[in-house]
Structure 1
Amino acid sequence: MNSELDSYFQETSRWSAELGLLRKILLGTELKEEVKWGQPCYTLNGANVIMLASFKDNCAISFLKGVLLKDPKMLLSKPGENSQTVRVIRFTNVQQIKEIKADLSAYIAEAISLEQTGIKVDRKPDSAPEIPDELNAKFAESAELEKAFLALTPGRQRAYCMFFAAAKQSKTRTARIDKYIPQILCGKGMNDCTCGLSKKMPACDGSHQLLKKKSEI
């Protein structure tokens, strides 16, 4: 058990009971509980295997190589239309977890076994992302921004475009773009470290939370 996550489980009041039960199940395995991107992450020999997350309408357990799981009970779903590897199981009450606890434990055991074999997911090459109109408008205003964006790896470009385009309203898409312009100009992806504290460079492992905690003391 990672004490740094105690506050996460306590403060996520809407799904605290559900996440607490999922946490208990995971802590009964050989996985190590860590903080990654500010979320509970369960690792094996340093490799990310499973994550827990809280959303507005549900909470979820995410299998990071879920596409490789057999899924005999048809419990897994894609977190997004374009997700190649991650598969999730979503919950809205404790009873749902209790009803499939045995199956869930079997899925977790299979995920651990897959990680132990060292098997990798065969990803499809990233296709060129469809750039939202709002981002193209920003490019028209700033050639520097366009140059910086096009210099990013295809995967980073795709992540940004998917995130921006996911907003239903144009003003929300524009707000999202404005928020990430400084990060794009610095050559950073959405999930890249910007504070320099991460031990998993260039990815962010949530170490910036230390800065937040220190500032609150």
Structure 2
Amino acid sequence: MDKINHWGKELELLQKILNKTELTETIKWGTTVYTHNGKNIVGFVGFKNYFTLWFYNGVFLTDPYKVLISAQEKTKALRQWRFNLMEEIDEKQILEYVKEAIKNSEEGKEIKAKKFQSVSVPELLQDELNLDENLKSAFEKLIPGKQKEYSLFIDEAKQEKTKMSRIEKIKPMILQGIGLYDKYKKD
């Protein structure tokens, strides 16, 4: 079943409501998103069991009607307002939330993505790199994120024996210039 078409009339109503605002409608990540001064404010989409509005920095909304939820534990800023029926859509309430979201955006309220934090190369791995110039050169050519993956992989092991076996496992990968998790990433 097509998730979007399953909620066609409901999503159309949300779109009509959001089009009454000063927001700019655009498509991002294959779905409708509304922006203000280049900042993502709100979007909507249908899922199998519900349809939802989500506020990109919804964590800052006062949520007077207690309708917003965090979809996942790790979600920091985004908040969802889930609906199961057309009758649950309250235009006045939605416009209140959108107005507050715009105001928050204009005030600069947002959670910024954390900057990349490097980690130090574990001593055992550094010793191996110092013993093999080719390995060291290959490691240094890796982007910082891939270097970090390898360093954490070694550091996470508790026993030195495990750390050494992991080092032996990753050496060929480093020499090939590939990251620890590249095989799981889509092209």
Identify the TM-score tier after normalising by the shorter chain: 0.5 to 0.7
Aligned to 1:111: 101
Displacement after TM superposition at 1:67 (Å): 0.2
* Residues 1:35 and 2:39 are matched in the alignment: no
* Residues 1:79 and 2:71 are matched in the alignment: yes
Question: Which contiguous aligned blocks of 4+ residues in structure 1 show a shift greater than 6 angstroms?
Answer: 122-129
CA contact (8 A) 2:44 2:53 kept: yes
Paired AA for residue 96 in structure 1: E
CA contact (8 A) 2:63 2:97 kept: yes
Q: Deviations over 1:46-72 (max 9, x none)?
A: 111111122111111110000000011
* Residues 1:148 and 2:179 are matched in the alignment: yes
Residue 94 of structure 2 aligns to a residue in which SS? helix
CA contact (8 A) 1:68 1:121 kept: no
Match of 1:95 among 70, 87, 95: 87
Q: How many residues align?
A: 137
RMSD of Structure 2 on Structure 1 (CA): 3.3
Displacement after TM superposition at 1:148 (Å): 2.4
Q: Deviations over 1:1-59 (max 9, x none)?
A: xxxxxxxxxx9321011111110110000000001011101001111111112211111
Residue 12 of structure 1 aligns to a residue in which SS? helix
CA contact (8 A) 2:77 2:110 kept: no
Using the size of structure 2 for normalisation, the TM-score is 0.61
Using the size of structure 1 for normalisation, the TM-score is 0.54
Match of 2:59 among 50, 56, 67: 67
> Cα gap change, 1:112/1:75 in structure 2, threshold over 3 Å: closer, same or farther?
same
Aligned to 1:121: 111
CA contact (8 A) 2:34 2:40 kept: yes
CA contact (8 A) 1:18 1:91 kept: no
Aligned to 1:22: 14
CA contact (8 A) 1:65 1:111 kept: yes
CA contact (8 A) 2:68 2:80 kept: yes
User: Unaligned regions of 5+ residues in structure 1, if any?
Assistant: 1-10, 132-139, 151-176, 184-217
What is the correspondence of 1:109-188 to structure 2 with a 5 Å cutoff?
109-121=99-111, 143=173, 148=179, 181-183=185-187
Residue 82 of structure 2 aligns to a residue in which SS? strand
Q: Deviations over 1:150-209 (max 9, x none)?
A: 7xxxxxxxxxxxxxxxxxxxxxxxxxx96x5344xxxxxxxxxxxxxxxxxxxxxxxxxx
Displacement after TM superposition at 1:123 (Å): 6.7
> Cα gap change, 1:84/1:15 in structure 2, threshold over 3 Å: closer, same or farther?
same
- Aligned partners of 1:18 and 1:54: how far apart in 2? 9
CA contact (8 A) 1:44 1:112 kept: yes
Displacement after TM superposition at 1:112 (Å): 0.9
Aligned to 1:57: 49
> Cα gap change, 1:73/1:146 in structure 2, threshold over 3 Å: closer, same or farther?
farther
Paired AA for residue 62 in structure 1: W
Bigger radius of gyration among the two: 2
